[in-house]
Amino acid sequence: MRNHKTGTREEWLADRVALLNAEKELTRKSDELARRRQELPWVRIDKAYRFETEEGRATLADLFRGRSQLLVYHYMFGPDYKAGCATCSTIADGFNGFVVHLANHDVTLMAVSHAPLTKIQPYKRRMGWTFPWASSVGGEFNFDFNVSFTEAQQREGKIEYNYERGGHAMDMVSVPPVVLDNANMAGTDVATYTRQRPG
């Protein structure tokens, strides 16, 4: 164990109160960011995306499953992968527990991968997952939201990720998965928020 500073109860209390004040300031800043995030303009999605689900073919509107909001988790699982991304799998291990809570708040959680459903389903069963998961194989959904890249884009270094143009996709260290929030207003799908990599 490393050598750590020790002190009196009074010293600890003074430092703890200072830390509490910093935590409160961070909470205020976080609340302000949340407010600004909610005020982002929505972007209409007019493209007719198609997906494969356990229930059959689906449109983006179908993925909402009758709810007003769709939370898309772009699960990194490509057509040539033998298994899903290890980081995505660690995160997805918690989906079964909270998917019902999201549903009770009018939100559908849907994982989407570029792999075919014939690869996704056995992996999903092996992992013991029951949350909804769609395949966008053969479509442009993942490419349009900058979470999948063509071989040409990768060869030429034309990768745009996290709102920045970068080099080759394989140059990115520990690329986290992407969360996309959508809403459905009177039958119109809109993109409301995307989170890729913080910082």
pLDDT tens-digit series, residues 135-160: 999 999 988 888 877 777 777 777 76
pLDDT score at 167: 54
Q: What is the residue range of 30's domain?
A: 8-39
| pLDDT for the residue numbered 186 | 52
**Are residues 67 and 82 both part of a single domain?**
yes
Residues 67 and 17 in one domain: no
| Confidence check: pLDDT of 182 > 60 | no
pTM of the entire predicted model: 0.76
Say if residue 121 is in the same domain as residue 181.
Answer: yes
Give residue 53's Cα distance to chain centre.
Answer: 18
- Looking at residue 146, what is its pLDDT? 81
Q: Could you tell me if residue 135 is inside a domain?
A: yes
Pairwise CA distance, residues 75 & 112, whole Å: 6
Q: Give per-residue pLDDT as tens, 18-36.
A: 999 999 999 999 999 999 9
User: Residues 109-138: what's their mean pLDDT?
Assistant: 96
Count of the separate structural domains present in the chain: 2
- Residue at 3 is within a domain: no
pLDDT (0 to 100) of residue 93 = 95
Read off the pLDDT of residues 32-45 as tens digits, 9 standing for 90 and up: 999 999 999 988 99
Q: The domain that contains 170 carries what CATH number? A: 3.40.30.10
Identify whether residues 70 and 165 lie together within a single domain: yes
Q: Is residue 172 part of a domain?
A: yes
Q: What is the 3-state secondary structure (H, E, C) of the chain?
A: CCCCCCCCHHHHHHHHHHHHHHHHHHHHHHHHHHHHHHCCCCEECCCCCEEEECCEEEEHHHHCCCCCEEEEEECCCCCCCCCCCHHHHHHHCCHHHHHHHHHCCCEEEEEEECCCHHHHHHHHHHHCCCCCEEECCCCCHHHHCCCCCCHHHHHHCCEEECCEEECCHHHCCCCCCEEEEEEEECCEEEEEEEECCCC
Q: Are 23 and 103 within one domain?
A: no
The reply to whether 167 and 128 lie within a common domain is: yes
